[in-house]
Amino acid sequence: MRYVDSIVAPEEEILHRGRLHWTIFLYPSAFLTLFLLPLARWLTCEAVVTSRRIVIASGFLRRSTFELSLSRFESIRVEQSLLARLLGFGSVLVVGVGGGRQAFLPMARPMAFRKAMVEAAREVD
């Protein structure tokens, strides 16, 4: 069971699930990290928009989570180079009221995640 699936309340609906982009497997590294570490990162990182909040979680042995109520959502920033746009990934920065912020990179389909967040936040207001 994925982390976010285990914390979602019964009346809360998952609207969108973001993932790391497959390009994380292309970064040069030593033999052991060539596949195993990017695979572990890909399997354990997730960004989810629910009907109530945004949850960004990463890690297996050392878990890091960022949860932001949609009513506290202030802005989202998406950055994509030309190559990233062609391959369908980008960096996402979520900013909450009061300065809370969390980055998620490289996210697959960042504009779909942005759209889901903006629409979900609009429904809460």
Domain harbouring 85, CATH code: 2.30.29.30
Model confidence over 73-94: pLDDT tens digits?
Answer: 999 999 999 999 999 999 999 9
Q: Rounded distance, CA 102 to CA 104, Å?
A: 7
Residue 79 lies in a domain: yes
Q: Are 47 and 20 contacting, i.e. CB atoms less than 8 angstroms apart?
A: no
Per-residue pLDDT reduced to its tens digit, 106-123: 999 999 999 999 999 998
Residue 65 belongs to what domain range?
16-124
Give, rounded to a whole angstrom, the gap between the first and last alpha carbons of the chain. Answer: 31
| Residue 4 counted as domain residue | no
pLDDT: which is higher, 3 or 51: 51
Residue-level pLDDT at 100: 86
103 pLDDT tier (thresholds 50, 70, 90): very high
What is the number of domains present in the chain? 1
Residue 23 maps to a domain: yes
**6 belongs to a structural domain:** no
Q: Judge whether 9 lies within some domain.
A: no
CB-based contact 19:45 (threshold 8 Å): yes
Locate all alpha helices (DSSP H) within the chain, ordered by sequence.
3-7, 31-44, 82-87, 110-124
Residue 47 is assigned to a structural domain of this protein: yes
Question: How much is the pTM?
Answer: 0.80
